[in-house]
Amino acid sequence: MLRFAQTADSIAATTKKLEKIRLLADYFRSVSVDEAAVAAVFFSGRPFPMWEEATLQVGGSLLWRIVSELSGRSEAELTTAYREHGDLGAVTGAVLPDRESPSHHENWSDGRPHPSKAGAESTPTAIQQAFRSIATARGPAAKGALVRQLLSSISPLEAKYIIKIMTGDLRIGLKESLVEEAIAKAFGVPVKNVQRANMLLGDIGETLKFAAEQRLAAAKMRLFHPIGFMLASPAESAEDALAYFQNAWVEDKYDGIRAQAHCSGDVVRFFSRTRDEITESFPELPHALRGLPRDAILDGEIMAWSYLTEEDPPEGLEAQASSPVQSKSATGRALPFGALQQRLGRKKVSEKLMRDVPVTYVAFDVFYAGDELVIDRPLRERARILEQLLAEQKPPHHRDTEAQRRKISSREPQAKLDFSFQAETSRGSVAESRGPMAESTLPTTADVRRTTNFPTTDDERHATNLIRAPVFQASSPAELNALFDAAQARGNEGLMIKDPESFYTPGRRGKSWLKLKREMATLDVVVTAAEYGHGKRIGVLSDYTFAVRDGDRLLNIGKACSGLTDAEIAEMTKWFLDHTIEDQGFRRLVEPKIVLEVAFNNMMKSDRHSSGYALRFPRIVRLRPDKLPEEADTLARAVELFKSQGH
């Protein structure tokens, strides 16, 4: 592990991309293939391959205490070191006493051989075995004991990078794309072949082994090994979006959790963008995708979904009735992300919670069907494959709302927006998605068949849990803006604009998919606390907690660290240091005099802040030196914006 750490230090010391690649390639060639494979995972900033379910579950506070104990440094001394170095790994390397490896420890507390016992240097493979012991240990005490043993057995330089790996960021200017290039250089293979193999395998270490053995062409996608999602680039406006394609395919941009559905007969598992399995949090969803005619991997979004009741029809019913984003009937609408949060991270979900926060899976793409990888097919072909998979699904099955959509579309006055995607199914039926409605033609409450607030039969429940994302078409900014307004009326974030000829590129962000969102009205807020940054913002107060007014009180509502220039942050740091109320080490409570204008995607209820609300993805628009704290926005204004989201 010492050579790994020395190489990482050398990589951190240069800003030249080619030099970083050369240093890493030289390291890969200098060690065995097995060691290089594990090191490749470490150089990507992870203790385990992304597809693995193992997690260390060791919090920063526990690591902080252990480093304090092993170094003999006080809290104040560690805080000073953190301000200088900017991350706990670098602090660890600076404060731990020098020691020789191997350690005096002969075995782990669980009886397994200590990683340093086998030789003069702990290897990446041995360190990963130690990580696995930590991952399987139960409780902070057991995990802490293993971490202490590990850090006690190695040099400060090794400890520096072990902590960095444990916290998930090496901070040496090395992305996984550069690791791919280093693998290509080390083993004399084309970079594009390494990239494709890594895309399919979802494991940079295994990709290295394939490259070393000159068999990258044999890499194949595997079920239940999640890979990267295709990502969209932001579009500033409808005009900006349509500059890339003349005839765009358009879908709603959903405010949920992006999820891959890996399906094989009755076995269905869901994986998030971080490639963590999330099936346990949504136990009703696997039923909705069982019985597909072939093994498949789908791309889609898990959303919280509200059903209509005769007793309590939701606000905006007429707008929702026109939504083509429907399951077996034209009832219900998307709920805000805040509702979905109640389902996240739970290993056991009660029937009550499933009733209180129903969810649905909105499928919009497919990249594996049967034994065929379809990512190299254009979107329009993948859409046909997806339609056929869902149409041929065995009961309980996806049901289309064709009858309701025909009723709606018969009154559609906007011919240019009238786009149908049709796929003949084995049963001879047609699945359609049509354009948005003009307000004057929206169905009334009487047009919508009411249902109970939760499906009562298994067939109803499973059908409702699966929606095929509707597809629209737009060729002008006016059409795109109309679609945008309709999407927001349905409770969705905005639009996804896609090239129908585009291939699926896992883990890549390009211009084939664009996302169009509009920020809510901004809030003027007061800074109440400032925290030290990390990385390039070591030593400056760059992360700001801010509040809205409620009478004479200031109630926190969010935290932002982006939007200001380096010069503005330096100026603010000086001001905050001079106007600190309480120095808490990393964080300073400051005099509430600085007003910021912040933008955000939306709001949710939250116990994290004293206001009871939290802004999602807040960004600082500008400093407002022209405003006094008394002129900042109020909690009432924030609640007004919250309600405008449809709450």
Q: Which of 91-105, 157-171, 494-508 has the lowest mean pLDDT?
A: 91-105
Tens of pLDDT, residue by residue over 358-380, are: 999 999 999 999 989 999 999 99
CATH of domain 231-517: 3.30.470.30
Q: Which residue has the higher pLDDT, 57 or 23?
A: 23
Tens of pLDDT, residue by residue over 514-571, are: 999 876 678 999 999 999 887 778 789 999 999 999 988 899 999 998 889 888 999 9
Q: Quick check: 234 pLDDT over 80?
A: yes
Q: 609: closest CA among 534, 571, 543, 554?
A: 554
Residues of the chain with CATH 2.40.50.140: 523-644
**pLDDT at position 255:** 86
From CA 625, how far away is CA 593, in angstroms rounded? 9
Report helix, strand or coil for 241.
helix
**pLDDT at position 79:** 82
**pLDDT at position 331:** 52
Tens of pLDDT, residue by residue over 450-478, are: 222 334 444 444 556 899 999 999 989 99
Q: 496: closest CA among 478, 475, 477, 517?
A: 517
Q: Quick check: 423 pLDDT over 70?
A: no
Residue 377 contacts residue 395 (beta carbons within 8 Å) = no
Q: Which residue has the higher pLDDT, 464 or 294?
A: 294
Q: 40: closest CA among 221, 216, 159, 211?
A: 211
The CB density around residue 574, as the number of other CB atoms within 10 Å, is: 12
Kindly give the residue spans of alpha helices, DSSP state H, lying in 416-565: 458-464, 477-489
**What is the pTM for the complete model shown?**
0.72
Residues of the chain with CATH 3.30.470.30: 231-517
Residue 596 contacts residue 522 (beta carbons within 8 Å) = no
The amino acid occupying position 22 is: R
The amino acid occupying position 550 is: D
The CB density around residue 295, as the number of other CB atoms within 10 Å, is: 16
Q: Which residue has the higher pLDDT, 590 or 405?
A: 590
Q: Which residue has the higher pLDDT, 245 or 137?
A: 137
| Mean pLDDT within 122-132 | 96
Residue 289 contacts residue 361 (beta carbons within 8 Å) = yes
Q: Scanning the structure block, which residue is given the tokens 């030099």?
A: 19
Q: Quick check: 447 pLDDT over 90?
A: no
Report helix, strand or coil for 183.
helix
| Mean pLDDT within 614-634 | 88
Q: Evaluate whether the domain defined by 523-644 bears CATH number 2.40.50.140.
A: yes
Exposure string for 151-176, b = 16+ CB within 10 A, e = fewer:
bbbbbbbbbbbbbbbbbeebbbebeb
Cα 74 to chain center, whole Å? 36
Q: Which of 111-125, 217-231, 356-370 has the lowest mean pLDDT?
A: 111-125
* DSSP state letter for 219: -
User: Can you count the helices (H) and strands (E) in the chain?
Assistant: 23, 21
Q: Quick check: 329 pLDDT over 50?
A: no
Residues of the chain with CATH 1.10.3260.10: 2-187
Bridge-partner residues for 526, per DSSP? 547, 595
Tens of pLDDT, residue by residue over 51-80, are: 888 889 898 889 989 999 999 998 888 888
Report helix, strand or coil for 148.
helix
Catalytic site includes residue 253? yes
Active-site residue (options: 160, 253, 498, 559): 253
Residue 504 contacts residue 368 (beta carbons within 8 Å) = no
CATH of domain 2-187: 1.10.3260.10
